[in-house]
Amino acid sequence: MAGNQINRLSGKGLVDHGKTVSFQFDGEAFSGHPGDTLASALLANGVRLVGRSFKYHRPRGILTAGSEEPNALVELRTGARREPNTRATTIELYDGLDATSQNRWPSLKLDVLSVNQLATPIFGAGFYYKTFMWPAAFWEKLYEPMIRRAAGLGYPSKLSDPDHYEKSNAFCDVLVIGSGAAGLSAALAAAKAGARVILCEEDFELGGRLLAESDEIDGKPAQEWARAAAAELESLPDCRIMRRTTVFGAYDGGVYGAVERVSDHLPVPPEHAPRQRLWRIVAKQSVVCAGGIERPILFGNNDRPGVMLAGAVRTYVNRFGVAPGRTAVVFADNHDALRTATDLAAAGVAVRAIVDPRPQASAAAEQVAGEAGALYIRGGIENVRGALGIKSVRVKDAQGGTKEFDCDLLATSGGWNPALNLTTHLGGKPAWDSALSCLVPGEDLPPGMQVAGAAAGQFSLQACLASGEAAGAEAAKHCGFSPSALRRPAPAQDRAPATPVWYVENSRGKAFVDFQNDVAVSDVKLAAREGFRVPDHVKRYTTLGMATDQGKTSNLNGAAILAEATGRYLGAVGSTTFRPPYTPVALGALAGHHRGKDFRPTRLAPSHRWAEEQGAVFVEVGAWMRALMYPKPGEAAQETVNREVSNTRTNVGVCDVSTLGKIDVQGPDAGELLNRVYINAFAKLPVGKARYGLMLREDGFAMDDGTTARLAEDHFYMTTTTANALKVSQHLEFCQQVLWPELDVQTVSATEQWAQYAVAGPKARKVIEALLDAGQDISNDAFPYMACGKFTVCGGTPARIFRLSFSGELAYEIGVPARYGDALIRAIIKAGAEHGIAPYGTEALGVMRIEKGHAAGPELNGQTTAHDLGLGKMASTKKDFIGRFMGEREALNEAGRAAMVGLKPLNPKTRIASGSHLVKRDAQATGANDEGYVTSMAYSPELETFIALAMLSNGPARMGEVVKVCDPLRGNETLAEVCSAHFVDPEGGRLRV
């Protein structure tokens, strides 16, 4: 049990020393304190080795103290909640936390695949492209499984995620991103001016670097100042503080994407609370105060556990009260890192040496070294000893002499880079600041965005405070507020010019640039020798910056090596392109509630509950759930369909047709509008009559069909196919608002307002008559085929009745306001009982429409014209209508075009598969011989044969010909006779009785 926290600095930092939290890493029990991250707690317990690298399985430790961490990735939690590749540096410690190291086998300390290191020549730059080029067949069987086994990250749980995720919107005047010195100042300035402010902080604690430094502001410790600033913000009415919330992307129109880790710091989300919440924040102005990311200086074996960034070392000492080592060496090219030596010494850590690779000696560094009891050496790190954790470093001084220092911590810093990713998400390019030797936000920022603090290259504390306050006030001003005068003057120019050193020449062993993808200095140099010059190309070739950290600690070092290797100025080389998300976002958060059965809402027909009671089988049609069939116990599916069809054709059946699109068209010009959207005439349709109509797209191809009834002089009621209801509604709105705004007409969807049932069969009239209130006449004379009218049923319920038939039988469609839908289906069944009524589903409906040769979705497939559907004669020649001109093009009216016919197999028991292709009887099934295709098929119980609808070249002229039906997918070929598509009752006598 290593629970004694040997590296904890008693009483130091912001963790709660009075409370203890237990956790496990690789099955071993440890303890930490509330306020720790997993990384700080591991370091407190003396654990330095936390993972193995992606390609070479090299032992790796903790490099940073933030979301930029490339190395310390672990699998967090177990079972269904296991989450791979989480950064130990951002995981908030909780009681019972269980984490496992990744990419090692059989154990972290003994890893068999670390032999990959010996094969490094194979895994060099572009190894994917070079090594595994051929033979191609080897990819699937050999190379890919090998790479997948050897190279990789953690494994996701394959169980369904038990937690849920939310999406939410937020609106504000000023969005402040980051809560360090600049962010807190910006938020205070904007909020105090009266602006509605949202402050987002990815950490669980406000303060940013203020938590990590031993700074003072206004005479008090920086941490105290941060706490007071946070308290003041909390007290302001229009300031919302969002902790544990990463703003990961900037989008058009002042929209920002953010993810809030609501419950990630708890073992299990509280009841009804999501694990994470995805935010869309709409902000008039934003101030990016995302801080900076330190860059390392690269040298041989710089990836060994115990090598850390100098700023991260200060974070562990000052914020978490942890000494990441007992004996340290600092290797840095800048003043900022000297603070690490000072803070370590103050915490009782022995600092052996400050190694400075710059060409000129630094008096300041020499002084700090003296105060910390360290040697000051100008030179570089030549090598590091200790594979599982460093034991010593060898320093080569400027005169060429070498000296070995025993140490277990090497703090390195090559300066800081602004975290400017959000400033480039809309395509702006960062600019090179030659004095600071880093990229800074460019001129072309997203509209309404300002940048302050380290993210803007304002690295000193005073500059952070001043630039934050100024940006917050400016943002408030842009939103129409009047901020008070600025309290903090911008400091006199204190930008210390940098003398960057990117890597140590001629050090021993591999010097890694990108730790997570195992890309070394030598790989970048190789890519340069092979002709790569653009950072984005080098990225793809070497994989530098392509890992889950997106190269936060490595991109600029990579570009610098590339610049040197190609003899160019670093500022001219440019950078890779930053894209959202800034840090990885779980797919679960992006999906929110839209998963499983909630992927999209389903719409239920008015008879749904009743149909469920009948044991209906349902099918998704668009967004609707429709009854497919109503099987009786012991019935096979085909038996059910046959029974439903036969019963409808001999007695009476009922089908819910509410899902058909229904559109109310009203106004003096309603008839004129319909005249222009249908190919046939509607303006003169008498009141009380319905008519079948076909509408085309403007290019002449069929778009949709349905019947439209005239309920009054200025009132039409249109139906569309279920699938096209929205499309047709939008089309009518386009016609009415964009094409012909002069027409006095309005359209509105009424699909959900009306429940509608088709009652079909020889006994249909008896059923409807039983429902009608007294004194209403629907006899054939009073209410003939294609009549429509308003009635009352069941004791005063208003109803619209249409004498329409899709089945080919005597039929009525009866519609009532949707709230009566459930009652009406029950009333219909009751009234029809003595006539043998039975419900039928969409399957039987489909059989009957195929028997009648009615075109539906499979025929209205976007490739067919009115001519192809056999409806060419319907088109009016007296008026313009949508699709008329283009529909009259010669090629769309050639006899040789595939047009709709019926097919009967020579053997009635042979099923013809939809999608089969047609060739001449004796022709080979080749593309060149193709003459058409089967669109729909069914078994006709009335004709006792399989039948089909097909589009066949010159079809209507080929009645009686036998063609070959080819189904190459299933390897079937069969012969069928071409016939009229009107299989049953071709004269339509049954409709008119």
Partner 1 sequence: MRINCPYCGARGLEEFTYRGDATVKRPESIEESARDAWVDYVYLRDNPAGLHKELWHHGAGCHSWLEVTRNTVTHEITAVELAAKGR
**Which residues sit at the interface with partner 1, rule CB under 8 A?**
169, 251-255, 280, 282, 426-427, 447, 698-699, 726, 730, 733-734, 736-739, 741-742, 880, 884-886
Please give the Cα distance from 652 to 629 (Å, whole number): 16
Q: Is 888 or 930 the residue whose CB approaches partner 1 more closely?
A: 888
Nearest distance, CB of residue 432 and partner 1, angstroms:
24
Q: Is 95 or 888 the residue whose CB approaches partner 1 more closely?
A: 888
Q: Which residues lie below 8 Å from residue 917, measured CB to CB, with a gap of 6+?
A: 925, 930, 931, 932, 933, 934, 965, 966, 967, 968
Nearest distance, CB of residue 669 and partner 1, angstroms:
12
Nearest to 22 by CA among 41, 49, 43: 41
Q: Is 326 or 697 the residue whose CB approaches partner 1 more closely?
A: 697
Tell me if 266 sits within 8 A of 81, measured CB to CB: no
Nearest distance, CB of residue 635 and partner 1, angstroms:
42
How many CB atoms are located within 10 Å of the residue 449 CB? 24
Q: Is 27 or 427 the residue whose CB approaches partner 1 more closely?
A: 427
Q: Is 282 or 431 the residue whose CB approaches partner 1 more closely?
A: 282
- SS3 (DSSP) at 176: strand
Q: Residue 615 corresponds to which amino acid?
A: G
Nearest distance, CB of residue 247 and partner 1, angstroms:
17
Q: Is 11 or 427 the residue whose CB approaches partner 1 more closely?
A: 427
Q: Which residues lie below 8 Å from residue 544, measured CB to CB, with a gap of 6+?
A: 513, 514, 517, 519, 523, 524, 538, 551, 554, 555, 558
Cα three-residue angle 969-975-976, rounded to 5 degrees = 110
Tell me if 683 sits within 8 A of 675, measured CB to CB: yes
Q: Is 427 or 686 the residue whose CB approaches partner 1 more closely?
A: 427
Q: Is 116 or 736 the residue whose CB approaches partner 1 more closely?
A: 736
Q: Residue 206 corresponds to which amino acid?
A: L
Please give the Cα distance from 353 to 871 (Å, whole number): 92
Nearest distance, CB of residue 477 and partner 1, angstroms:
21
Burial 675-712 (b: 16+ CB within 10 A, else e): bbbbbbbbeebeeebbbebbbbeeebbbbbbbbbbbbe
How many CB atoms are located within 10 Å of the residue 403 CB? 16
Q: Is 163 or 733 the residue whose CB approaches partner 1 more closely?
A: 733
226 is written with which tokens?
């941060």
Q: Is 198 or 793 the residue whose CB approaches partner 1 more closely?
A: 198
Burial 304-314 (b: 16+ CB within 10 A, else e): bbbbbbbbbbb
Q: Map tokens 């559907």 to a residue.
A: 869
Nearest distance, CB of residue 659 and partner 1, angstroms:
19
Nearest distance, CB of residue 888 and partner 1, angstroms:
8
Cα three-residue angle 295-297-298, rounded to 5 degrees = 120
Q: Residue 329 corresponds to which amino acid?
A: V
Nearest distance, CB of residue 201 and partner 1, angstroms:
25
Q: Is 285 or 334 the residue whose CB approaches partner 1 more closely?
A: 285
Nearest to 852 by CA among 938, 765, 759: 938
Please give the Cα distance from 512 to 523 (Å, whole number): 9
Tell me whether the omega of the peptide bond preceding residue 145 falls within 30 degrees of 0, making it cis. no
Q: Is 651 or 876 the residue whose CB approaches partner 1 more closely?
A: 876
Q: Which residues lie below 8 Å from residue 565, measured CB to CB, with a gap of 6+?
A: 524, 525, 528, 529
Tell me if 659 sits within 8 A of 844, measured CB to CB: no
Q: Is 548 or 746 the residue whose CB approaches partner 1 more closely?
A: 746
Q: How far is CA 901 from CA 853, 861, 895, in A?
A: 8, 15, 13
Q: Which residues lie below 8 Å from residue 533, measured CB to CB, with a gap of 6+?
A: 562, 566, 568, 573
Nearest distance, CB of residue 601 and partner 1, angstroms:
13
Please give the Cα distance from 541 to 543 (Å, whole number): 6
Nearest distance, CB of residue 692 and partner 1, angstroms:
24
Nearest distance, CB of residue 884 and partner 1, angstroms:
6
Nearest distance, CB of residue 536 and partner 1, angstroms:
20
Nearest distance, CB of residue 738 and partner 1, angstroms:
5
Please give the Cα distance from 422 to 20 (Å, whole number): 38
H runs (alpha helix) in 878-920: 884-887
Q: Is 329 or 673 the residue whose CB approaches partner 1 more closely?
A: 673
Nearest distance, CB of residue 137 and partner 1, angstroms:
42
Q: Is 212 or 665 the residue whose CB approaches partner 1 more closely?
A: 665
Q: Which phi and psi angles does 75 have, rounded to 5°?
A: -90, 125
Tell me if 279 sits within 8 A of 170, measured CB to CB: yes
Q: Which residues lie below 8 Å from residue 390, measured CB to CB, with a gap of 6+?
A: 304, 305, 306, 307, 384, 407, 408, 409, 410
How big is the chain by its Cα radius of gyration, in Å? 38
Q: Map tokens 């709660």 to a residue.
A: 16
Please give the Cα distance from 114 to 60 (Å, whole number): 12
Please give the Cα distance from 535 to 540 (Å, whole number): 9
Nearest distance, CB of residue 748 and partner 1, angstroms:
8
Give the residues across from 97 on adjacent strands.
Answer: 23
Nearest distance, CB of residue 252 and partner 1, angstroms:
4
Q: Is 728 or 850 the residue whose CB approaches partner 1 more closely?
A: 728
Q: Is 522 or 876 the residue whose CB approaches partner 1 more closely?
A: 876
Give the residues across from 918 on adjacent strands.
Answer: 932, 965
Nearest distance, CB of residue 698 and partner 1, angstroms:
5
Tell me if 442 sits within 8 A of 430, measured CB to CB: yes
Nearest distance, CB of residue 881 and partner 1, angstroms:
9
Q: Is 613 or 698 the residue whose CB approaches partner 1 more closely?
A: 698
Please give the Cα distance from 940 to 537 (Å, whole number): 63
